[in-house]
Amino acid sequence: MSTSLPSKVNVLLIGGGGREHAIAWKLQQSSHLGQLWIQPSANAALQSMGRVCPEEISVKRAFFLKRWCEREEVSLVIIGPEGPLAEGLTDALASPNLRVFGPTQAGARLEFDKAFAKQMMRQASIPTADARAFTTMEQAVRYLTTREDPVVIKATGLCQGKGVVVCDTRDDALDAIERIMVKREFGDAGTTVLIEERLKGQELSVLALVDGSNIWVLDPCQDHKQVGEGDVGPNTGGMGAYSPTPLADEATMTIIHRDVLVPIVDALRREGVIFRGVLFAGIMLTAGGPKVLEFNCRFGDPETQAIMVRLQGDLVEILWACAGGELENIDLSFDPRHACCVAVCSGGYPGEFAKGRVIGGLESAAAAALEHESVMVFHAGTARNAAGELVTSGGRVLTVTALAASLSRAQALANEAAARISFEGAFFRRDIGHRVLAAL
């Protein structure tokens, strides 16, 4: 155990979606959790898991937030989403009495500036797709006309997983560049575009806890980003994930650790950046070995919902140690069972969708598990209406996670549980894990 860990730690959890619900659920199992504080805009389930902070969290109010943390004796702040990390909330909260889990703005740049991330990868010889960055439509189009092979067009800023267009034809690519740079569908996130070589292979989400120098790799997951079954349609924030995955054997994980995680943490350190938090590498397993698609600087959503139910040990202790540079005191282990998580979404997502639809069936969903199994229904975009009813308030409404003896059983259980949830327009993918299940 970390020698500095107090017997009780008051924790402020920033973020209010499915990832944070899974984190809060795991925090509540810790004997070290004191008061848990939740952000006012968090979903309905999170609001009932702790006390709600007096005001919304923002970097602009960091001075007051810091004083408030002192008064309430909050000593650990856990930042879930990329937004506050990109805005520099970790930097703004820095103080001797407060540990912040999540990198500084300079570390978060790996995620919020894809062109910077590419440059760092190039410098550190990290395997990744070839890419060029452009700030004008003319240059981007000129470059595109010189390329024969399929490309991927990316807005370089933060777009909640939606600013990436995988193109089959040159017309698709031209259209994507126009949407990002001219129509500004992603706002300022599209000031610069990357035109990237399109890689082929299976995708892997590799998340690691990094305390500045130690890198503890979590059991890998596979996420399904496209909205439709069979991996068709536009990208979303993630329609489901499962863990563990047979795609990542020990040899592959050793390569990813050695050729991706260690060199990027070292490269950041050379730039003066001590990275503390989650380093999340989106990897494509290509015929030429693992290659990085992107880095994120936080837990994945919905990967976290599949990881937290398997992670053993005390999450307060783990994140406290990570934020304080003391991971060497921590052993990580995972429940050998398989987790499969499916996102139950509002009709129309990732495009326009309605809000305020009354949700039913949650208890019935949780009761779908047999002995030695479990089902957790994590809230993502939910709220209470004036009548106190649980209603939808986002594109991804709930993430249903099943834990069972095999991936196929976990998938079937997650599907059965998700089917018991009802709200107008609800839909989910029933094929999470299909690519490895087909191969097994």
Judged by the rule CB under 6 A, the positions of this chain that interact with ligand GLY are 161, 223, 238, 296, 300-301, 303
Phi, psi of 85 (to 5 degrees): -65, -45
Residue 59 or residue 204: which is nearer to ligand AMP going by CB? 204
Q: What is the DSSP letter of 50?
A: S
Q: Of these partners, ligand AMP, ligand GLY, none, which one is at the site of residue 346 (CB under 5 to 8 Å by kind)?
A: none
Nearest distance from C-beta of residue 387 to ligand GLY, angstroms: 33
Q: Closest Cα to residue 178, out of 223, 125, 137?
A: 137
Residues forming a β-bridge with 334 = 311
Can you tell me the distance from the alpha carbon of 297 to that of 392, in angstroms, rounded to the nearest whole number? 28
Nearest distance from C-beta of residue 255 to ligand AMP, angstroms: 18
Nearest distance from C-beta of residue 150 to ligand AMP, angstroms: 8
Residue 238 or residue 433: which is nearer to ligand GLY going by CB? 238
Nearest distance from C-beta of residue 240 to ligand GLY, angstroms: 10
Q: Of these partners, ligand AMP, ligand GLY, none, which one is at the site of residue 300 (CB under 5 to 8 Å by kind)?
A: ligand GLY
Residue 220 or residue 238: which is nearer to ligand GLY going by CB? 238
Q: Cβ distance 199 to 284 under 8 Å?
A: yes
Q: At 227, is the secondary structure helix, strand, or coil?
A: strand
Half-sphere exposure of 203 (CA within 13 A, CB side): 21
Nearest distance from C-beta of residue 386 to ligand GLY, angstroms: 32
Residue 43 or residue 128: which is nearer to ligand AMP going by CB? 128
Phi, psi of 341 (to 5 degrees): -125, 135
Cα dihedral across residues 289, 295, 301, 305: positive or negative: positive
Nearest distance from C-beta of residue 346 to ligand AMP, angstroms: 21
Residue 66 or residue 154: which is nearer to ligand AMP going by CB? 154
Q: Closest Cα to residue 21, out of 394, 329, 296, 313?
A: 394
Q: Report the interface residues with ligand AMP, using CB under 6 A.
A: 129, 152, 154, 161, 164, 166, 196-199, 203, 225, 235, 282, 293-294
Nearest distance from C-beta of residue 226 to ligand AMP, angstroms: 7
Q: Of these partners, ligand GLY, ligand AMP, none, which one is at the site of residue 303 (CB under 5 to 8 Å by kind)?
A: ligand GLY
- Residue with nearest beta carbon to ligand GLY: 238
Residue 150 or residue 263: which is nearer to ligand AMP going by CB? 150
Residue 20 or residue 294: which is nearer to ligand AMP going by CB? 294
Can you tell me the distance from the alpha carbon of 226 to that of 238, in angstroms, rounded to the nearest whole number? 7
171-190: burial string, b at 16+ Cβ within 10 Å, e else: eebbebbebbbeeebbeebb
